[in-house]
A and B are shown apart, each in its own frame.
Chain A
């Protein structure tokens, strides 16, 4: 699925060469992606630990809300960040009141800030899932052996992190590889040229498809290399199966309690303030949305639900196959779409479809397919560790009972995997809601999805209506995510 569009673009004009400008773009892309991945994951570890071992009112809501930035359409997220951290933002307003110098968000620091904003929620959730996947029995055993925080870290937390962190790093790295709008808006100028922007230049400016395909191949290869490295580095923690009792994790008292509270408060403030800014900007426009916005919203929801069904089915099949010792290339294949250039993917599909029929007639099916494809790596990553644990814990039992096929799916796989499936489905649905990527290449007069309408509103000076429609988009993405996530948790309980 990834290879065919890439191949189609390469086929239409072969050849790979990298100019000095491309190398500069490659360097900047790598720098920002590595920094973004490291910062996101380093910050995510204390936040995930604090969330895993503390109980407080509103914890569930906070965890769900903190996931919202990842679901935002990029340009909406950037405007929210700018409202808080920009030159005329809240932060600089507060600093000026206190007589302190301004901070400048435009530059490499701004790119990393935005990527951390977008990816910290994902990293936190991946690591938090790791904590929750440690069977409660292990924590009870640790408690009965009077483990202190140090032993706890050594015997339970570090082995778990060694399994989860490489995957989280590779995922964030790969997401940031394809960064385009964030890097451009907050990067401050052409010094912040990423590979994706170089691909834009090749397609739109030079009309050199061979060059574009070459750059896209480099980008995808980097993502693939990151996935491979993560797979080599990650070691199975080997905690074995548990009875899925409620985790009995009791947080240590003393300064660690204050540190956990601080970690949660800082993360919540960092992630929720820009969302608040979007809410304030969007509310007035929400009341005067034209009818076509609601039509587009309905269309977007339908696209999101269909592509979620496709993604979950494909990811579950892949994850179960890999967990049962299927070929390792499946693992890599599922990771590839992460680092694939949206523009090249769309152009390639266009080249494939166009000789057969008018691309505009296929706008929605192609969008569903591409959204499903782009969400696949995340969903696969989320399902794989759980599928492995399931196979390790219950595979032999199920085998000796002759449990297979639909019965195995119904009695073992789906109930045991309900929580990650729900979370992954929510993520896939929300990602599909927010994605603009391919529809723009295929869309006709009718058939626009909500993100495309937001873009059209912004392009027609309708800033208020655009802010309102963005808020609607965020609200709907979030509602879909919440419905699947809560459904999964309920089914698991």
Chain B
């Protein structure tokens, strides 16, 4: 028994020595990215084929949780790349001073011009209210029409959810100083406010509300994955706010070249082609969309710059709280 055992040990030791030489790239991202149904597994496979490295994901809640995690860890973070911040968090993230330039040209397929030396978009989508065509035949066509109607909606809390924050900034971008008035008008339409996207989407599917705050790409999931064409999104005449999701290289990374290579890789087909049907968002570079992914686009896109968003955020939240807290 001894010789085979010894041989096995030698082989094992040699194998672990080989792994020890393989550089490890750690990517900090949000929870749904790494799940079996998210882009994580396919992205990991595609990148490891070319990089000669071991790609590891670390998940931390959602976009806002990522940023607070980074602030907790500071320069001691084991992460090399952060993937999943959105444009409402970019100014805050820049201010931490933890990020280094990525050195890539701006992403090609965004509906608005967006260029940032520290953060590179990898996907994007429009916020929209999604409804069930069999339950609601004439959806409202603007926030004002929604407020005047008796259509019931579920939304997310901006304090605990990134789409919730997106809606807050959407109303602010569309109405500016009139935002409190719009929120007061919406108060009787809101069935409830949930801590995250998944709870409100679940309530909507259970029939608790006529519309839910989600993305224009949500109906595509039902159409493609469930062969169910009953969901659609309501075009609003004010225009639709964009969510742009970005990645960035951490300055304290011990694998800076690999980290930059990964951020560059987010623009290539190996990454971009899995985005539509796993993250259910639009890819950030020119990529063919799967059939049935898109039926229409909003006519107008709204996006505050990172600095505008940061400046408007706290005031908008206070207005929201005051208008909705009876």
Contacts and interface: CB of A to CB of B under 8 A. Distances in A.
Interface of A: 21, 24, 75, 78-79, 82-83, 86-88, 106, 180-181, 184-191, 193, 197, 200-201, 203-205, 207, 290, 292, 347, 350-351, 354-355, 358, 360, 440-441, 443-445, 452-453, 455-463, 466
A264 B65 CA distance: 44
B198 A455 contact: yes
A95 to B, nearest CB: 16
Given A360-B78, A456-B37, 4 more contacts: A21-B321, A184-B193, A184-B194, A205-B64
A224 to B, nearest CB: 26
Interface of B: 31-32, 34-38, 40, 56-61, 64-65, 67-69, 71-73, 76, 78, 92, 152, 157-160, 187, 190-199, 201-203, 205-209, 218, 221-222, 225, 280, 317, 320-321, 324-326
B117 to A, nearest CB: 23
Contact of A292 (B36, B58, B222): B36
B61 A75 contact: no
A461 B201 contact: yes
Contacts of A440: 31, 60-61
Contact of A458 (B34, B61, B159, B202): B202
A189 B192 contact: yes
A445 B56 contact: yes
A205 B315 CA distance: 13
Contact of A87 (B38, B64, B152, B225): B152
A467 to B, nearest CB: 9
A290 B36 CA distance: 9
A483 B208 CA distance: 37
A119 B40 CA distance: 39
A402 B248 CA distance: 69
A322 to B, nearest CB: 37
Nearest first, the 9 A-B pairs at minimum CB distance are A88-B207, A458-B198, A191-B325, A460-B37, A456-B35, A201-B159, A459-B32, A445-B57, A189-B324
Nearest to A453: B35
A351 B73 CA distance: 8
B190 A189 contact: yes
B192 A186 contact: yes
Contacts of A203: 68
Contacts of A190: 157, 193, 320-321, 324-325
Contacts of B222: 461
Given A24-B325, A189-B187, A201-B159, A86 B206 contact: yes
Contact of B157 (A83, A197, A441): A197
B192 A188 contact: yes
Contact of B72 (A83, A292, A354, A358): A354
A477 B207 CA distance: 28
A432 B187 CA distance: 38
A463 B202 contact: yes
30 contacts: A75-B199, A83-B206, A86-B208, A87-B209, A181-B195, A185-B195, A185-B203, A187-B192, A188-B190, A188-B192, A189-B187, A189-B192, A189-B193, A189-B326, A191-B324, A197-B160, A204-B159, A207-B92, A441-B61, A441-B69, A445-B56, A445-B58, A445-B59, A455-B31, A460-B37, A460-B38, A461-B221, A462-B37, A463-B201, A466-B198
Nearest to A184: B195
Nearest to A460: B37
A204 B165 CA distance: 12
B36 to A, nearest CB: 5
A86 B152 CA distance: 13
A85 to B, nearest CB: 11
B59 A443 contact: yes
A462 B202 CA distance: 10
A283 to B, nearest CB: 16
A34 to B, nearest CB: 20
A94 B119 CA distance: 54
B76 A355 contact: yes
Contacts of B317: 205
A278 B71 CA distance: 39
Given A188-B191, A354-B72, A444-B59, A463 B205 contact: yes
Contact of A445 (B34, B194, B321): B34
Contacts of A452: 31
Contacts of A458: 198-199, 201-202
Contacts of A21: 321
A190 B71 CA distance: 26
Contacts of B325: 24, 189-191, 193
Contacts of B78: 358, 360
Contacts of A459: 31-32, 35, 196-198
A363 to B, nearest CB: 10
Contacts of B280: 461
Nearest to B325: A191
A347 B190 contact: no
B324 A185 contact: no
B259 to A, nearest CB: 17
B57 A444 contact: yes
Contacts of A456: 31-32, 35, 37
Residue among B60, B201, B280 with the most chain A CB within 10 A? B60
A445 B54 CA distance: 13
A323 to B, nearest CB: 41
Nearest to B320: A190
A186 B191 CA distance: 9
Nearest to B156: A184
B199 A181 contact: yes
B160 A88 contact: no
Contacts of A180: 195
Contacts of B64: 204-205
Nearest to A461: B221
Contacts of B197: 459
A106 B187 CA distance: 13
